[in-house]
Amino acid sequence: MVTCGIDFGTSNSGVALATTDVKLLPVEGDHVTIPSAVFYPKREFVPVFGREAMRRFFDKQEGRLMRSLKRVLGTSLMKQGTMVNGKVIKFEKIIGSFLENIKQKTDHAAGIEVDHVVMGRPVHFIDNDPQGDEQAQHELAAIAKTIGFKFVEFQYEPIAAAFAHEVKIVGEKLAIVVDLGGGTSDFTIIKLSNNYIGKVNRASDILANTGVRIGGNDFDKKISLTTILPEIGYGSTYGDKKLEVPLKPYHDLSEWSRVNFIYNIKTLSQTRELLHQSHDKKRFGRLLRILESESGHTLLAAAEDTKVALTPHVEHRATFGFLDPHFFIDVTRDQFENAIQEDVQKIVDAANECLRSANIGASAINLVILTGGSTEVPLIQKVFKALFTHATISDENKLSSVALGLAYDSKRRFA
């Protein structure tokens, strides 16, 4: 039987095929991961995906870019849909087109139509909302069946990451998986051994799962709100009463899943009106230029680039030539770490909750498996090395271990 595992991520996605062995498949050129991005060219309803979607947008081709689509699952936005070329398109169709692109590559690699899949899911799609969480999985399952999968199962992403590492583990080790993606941070404590790979039921090996809806996109948001958006007028005032300018446009500008919703006549008209009363016309005027040119994604990309640059470097100059060739902001790693400190503490709290649920202390952990792009952030590395001082740290295949583990799981489940 040919089965597969699909990791539909907030930032990046991938697929692995399970036949006699398990292997990652190229999903965009030679790449085994693809950015979870969709671009609809102007006057067209056939989208392009991944790096090509990002390239077209940043080449200033006219059209509509969408990212962080996973965060829409289970929310009211799924029913509302969004405007594309003057027409409302439901998000299940947009997400479906992205996943169908991955399925077509899977079928081509397999030489047959693959109809068995294990999809990854975060421990919580939505925090403290069991109904929304259940709805999100239901919506993703329905989309998977719409694009041609007949048998759809789900596995928590951190458990899948553990399965990917298990093949190399001799003897038994108690591991905690730290899965920090673009939209969520998830944790699993699990007993691992290469002797357990063939076990169909792993319930007795899984000691605890926890998760929180905080990830790399939230880091982008914090660095944007604290260092970039104040230079776009965030926190400035207007009028005789010195009222603070509306915050909603700025919060929409700081989130990949919401930035498209800022481009509307109401927000544009309000911004033009407030500019006349603004006490900081230079900075607030930059907001108007962003709205008029619909360049919020470019602003967000600068925040993301700043986060990435501050991994190997302690300071970074973010440039905004699309607004002004002489406009730049210098950001330090200390500023970034101060901005995300509260989010990082919530992530550490979720890891400690996982330890409490498993009724063990940090010293009992033999192996820490770091997966997901956000685990590269220096502050994240620092806090987890401090928490698990006696454990071995494993961080190989950060962006593809979940897809591999899902394929191993599909092989077990459907065999």
- Structure confidence by residue, pLDDT tens digits, 206-236: 999 999 999 999 999 999 999 999 999 999 9
Place of tokens 């870019």: 65
- Structure confidence by residue, pLDDT tens digits, 10-35: 999 999 999 999 999 999 999 999 99
How many other CB atoms are there within 10 angstroms of residue 344's CB atom?
23
- Structure confidence by residue, pLDDT tens digits, 255-276: 988 888 898 899 999 999 999 9
pLDDT band at 60 (very low <50, low <70, confident <90, very high): confident
- Given this model, what pLDDT does residue 199 score? 83
- Structure confidence by residue, pLDDT tens digits, 171-199: 999 999 999 999 999 999 999 999 998 78
- Given this model, what pLDDT does residue 223 score? 97
- Given this model, what pLDDT does residue 367 score? 96
- Given this model, what pLDDT does residue 200 score? 79
CA-CA distance, 335 to 34, in Å (whole number)? 30
Of residues 280, 275, 271, the one with CA closest to residue 250: 271
> Is the CATH number of domain 3-170+396-414 3.30.420.40?
yes
Q: Is the dihedral of CA 357, 347, 249, 309 positive or negative?
A: negative
Place of tokens 């926190």: 235
Is the confidence at residue 202, as pLDDT, over 90?
A: no
- Given this model, what pLDDT does residue 261 score? 85
- Given this model, what pLDDT does residue 201 score? 84
Q: What residue spans define the domains of the chain?
A: 3-170+396-414
CA-CA distance, 222 to 340, in Å (whole number)? 6
- Given this model, what pLDDT does residue 204 score? 93
pTM above 0.85, yes or no: yes
- Given this model, what pLDDT does residue 79 score? 87
Mean pLDDT, residues 368-381 taken together: 95
Average pLDDT value for the chain: 95
- Given this model, what pLDDT does residue 150 score? 98
CA end-to-end distance (rounded Å), the chain = 7
